[in-house]
């Protein structure tokens, strides 16, 4: 199991808060585990909520039509890297 970086931990807290993940603690989110499907089981509505929260919190816009969006949402680690690289 990978350890979350401080930036990943902050993003995990944002995910838990925005998505009201009552049964999941931010520290339980594996940085390299999938966010969708077998991982956290998120769906497209969750992705929209996450994108909005990241835009408000970090000023980074995530657009559905952008080429790297699907890859950015593959895990907490890739989402955090996307945010950090686009600030």
Q: What is the DSSP letter of 5?
A: P
- Which domain does 40 fall in, by range? 6-85
How many folded domains does the chain comprise?
A: 1
Q: Please report the pLDDT score of residue 57 as a whole number.
A: 95
Length reported for the chain: 87
Q: Please report the pLDDT score of residue 8 as a whole number.
A: 97
Domain-embedded: residue 1:
no
CATH code of the domain containing 79: 1.10.1200.10
User: Which mean pLDDT values do the consecutive 10-residue runs of the chain (87 residues) have?
Assistant: 92 97 93 91 93 96 87 96 94
Q: Please report the pLDDT score of residue 66 as a whole number.
A: 86
Domain-embedded: residue 75:
yes
pTM given for the model: 0.92
Alpha helices per DSSP H over 1-87: 6-19, 44-58, 69-72, 76-85
CA 47, distance to chain mean position in Å, is: 8
């Amino acid at each position: 199991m990978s350890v979350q970086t401080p930036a990943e931990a902050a993003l995990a807290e944002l995910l838990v808060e925005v998505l009201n993940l009552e049964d999941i603690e931010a520290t339980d989110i594996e940085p390299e585990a999938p966010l969708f499907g077998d991982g956290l089981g998120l769906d497209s509505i969750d992705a929209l909520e996450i994108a909005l929260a990241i835009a408000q919190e970090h000023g980074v816009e995530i657009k559905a039509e952008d080429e790297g969006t699907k890859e950015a949402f593959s895990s907490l680690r890739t989402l955090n890297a996307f945010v950090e690289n686009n600030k």
